[in-house]
Structure 1
């Protein structure tokens, strides 16, 4: 199995595991009255399953993105960004101010 596919499957497993824990915590802590809604309804199991699936999709995607971005090669040279390692040199720019003809000056 290719490494990227294995990484994706691991990310999905981690994401759905986190989603299960998240939904259990939401129900256990009764956030926004979810415990009463889920346990008091005959469709509560469907609601819990939907919360796990949708949160699992989000958490798995975030986990996979984190893993892929962590695979980037480290570089010691400055690339992009603000180039903080370089000295800034001030440059004088001459500005010529001209009065407008025909318009009175505004006083502040």
Structure 2
């Protein structure tokens, strides 16, 4: 089995394990009266199963993402050359300007 597939399966198992602990803690500590809501409903098992599965998907994705991102920490060759960069200074530019025209007088003379 390829190493990446093995890593993915291990992270998925870890994510669903964390999900089981998380859902168990939610029910044990009765967060938002969740234990009484589930135990008093005939669809409580479905609700717990959905809570476990959806949290498992999220936790597995996060576990896998963290493990993939941590793979590149030992590789310090990807950064390019560290060359000194001079600070940018604006260069003065000379612009020839014409004498201002009095546009208001021209507009008044035509009327």
Query: Scaled by the length of structure 2, what TM-score is found?
Result: 0.71
Q: Which residue of 2 aligns with 1:106?
A: none
Q: TM-score normalised to the size of structure 1?
A: 0.73
Q: Which has the larger radius of gyration?
A: 2
- Runs of 4+ in structure 1 displaced over 2 angstroms? 76-79, 85-88, 92-96
1:1-108 alignment, distance < 5 Å: 1-72=1-72, 73-75=74-76, 78-79=79-80, 86=84, 88-94=86-92
Equivalent pairs counted in the alignment come to: 98
Q: CA RMSD in A?
A: 2.8
- Relative to its length, the structure with more helix (as a share) is 2
The unaligned stretches of length 5 or more in structure 2 are 104-111
Structure 1: which 5+ runs fail to align?
103-108
Residue 20 of structure 1 aligns to a residue in which SS?
Answer: helix
